[in-house]
Chains A and B, each alone.
Chain A
Amino acid sequence: MSAEAMAGTGGLGAQRQGERAEEHGHHPSPAFYWMIGGILTVITAVEVAIFYVPFLEPVLVPLLLALSAGKFVLVVMFFMHLKTDSRIFSGLFLSGLVLAVFMTVALVVLFHVLPEYQTLTAG
């Protein structure tokens, strides 16, 4: 078999694998997407509502972070299809996302939490 022919066969093989990979991804119905859109709207309304509730102030930050994370996960899993797509895509995305979250948390701890802790312990 010539090199060209082998390359052609390899290309078709990869294509067939690709078609198989795509077949594994089930595409939800429009009704399902509308339902996700509705849930996202409700979560946003709840976020804004609890912002104006005074007695929730002590737990406002964790509540808002949890609701925001919920919206984030819904969009990524169902609108970006990571739930049904190949795990390789999830890995590529999560590698960047985990680093990003780690960096942000580390900087907030360094610049906000540690200085306050040092002030408290010095006092």
Chain B
Amino acid sequence: MAQAAAVADEHHYTSTGLDSWKVGFWTFIGSECLFFATLISTYMVYKGKSLVGPFPEEILDIPLTTISTFILLMSSLAMVLALDGIRRGSKKLTLVWLGAVILLGTTFLGFQVYEFNHFVHEGLTLGTNVFASSFYVLTGFHGAHVTVGVIWLLTLWILAARGRLASGDSMKVEVAGLYWHFVDVVWIVIFTLVYLIQ
């Protein structure tokens, strides 16, 4: 009986036979879709309604954002390879790919900090116009999600480095991966609607 309880503690299955972590996390992701939809909708509603500049077409830097988009896409690839690594029981692969995701995620945040800093120097602050307000809130919340993801993955990397993340713990990496990929798909939408469709 004690053995059964110990096994049940490792993986919490719901009555559907699915892991409760994943069921809970997919529900959370579903709710996050609505959260980002409110921010994207606000941006879309106020699009073209700014009375004073700088306007999006004057200030958005497509080549720079294309690079940061590529970096975030590649971080998703690294994330799925990290999951593959832990499923294979390879500590080395897990550490390398988790480290790559953390590095790429931090680089993406660096691009965002540079972009915000550049915009402020160009006179686009949070209260300049409705474009600025909706743009900073939308991309700022996305950046906050990336930051949470980087901290989460850094925690997993430290656990893996200390040998406390075995192949039996792959669900921990899988759930963190789901979060990371979701942040990536939100950026796919933002890149198109905010940067490319002006």
Contacting residue for B17 out of A14, A64, A103, CB 8 A: A14
> CB distance A27 to B84 under 8 Å?
yes
User: Contacts of B30 on A, CB cut-off 8 Å?
Assistant: 92-97
Number of B residues near A (Cβ < 8 Å) is: 58
Across the two chains, which residue of chain A brings its CB closest to B171?
A22
Contacting residue for A33 out of B17, B70, B77, CB 8 A: B77
Known A-B contacts: A34-B77, A44-B73. Give 18 more (CB < 8 A): A14-B15, A18-B18, A21-B17, A36-B77, A60-B197, A72-B185, A72-B189, A75-B76, A75-B181, A79-B77, A79-B177, A88-B23, A89-B23, A93-B33, A96-B30, A96-B32, A97-B33, A100-B37
User: Contacts of B32 on A, CB cut-off 8 Å?
Assistant: 96
Interface residue? B14 (CB, 8 A): yes
Chain B residues with CB under 8 Å of chain A are 1, 4-5, 7-8, 11, 13-19, 22-23, 26-27, 29-34, 36-38, 40-41, 44-45, 47, 62-63, 66, 69-70, 73-74, 76-77, 79-81, 84, 87, 177-178, 181-182, 184-185, 188-189, 191-193, 196-197
Chain A residues with CB under 8 Å of chain B are 4-5, 8, 11-12, 14-15, 17-18, 20-22, 27, 30, 33-34, 36-37, 40-41, 44, 47-48, 51, 60-61, 64-65, 67-68, 71-72, 75-76, 78-80, 85-86, 88-89, 92-97, 99-101, 103-104, 107-108, 111-112
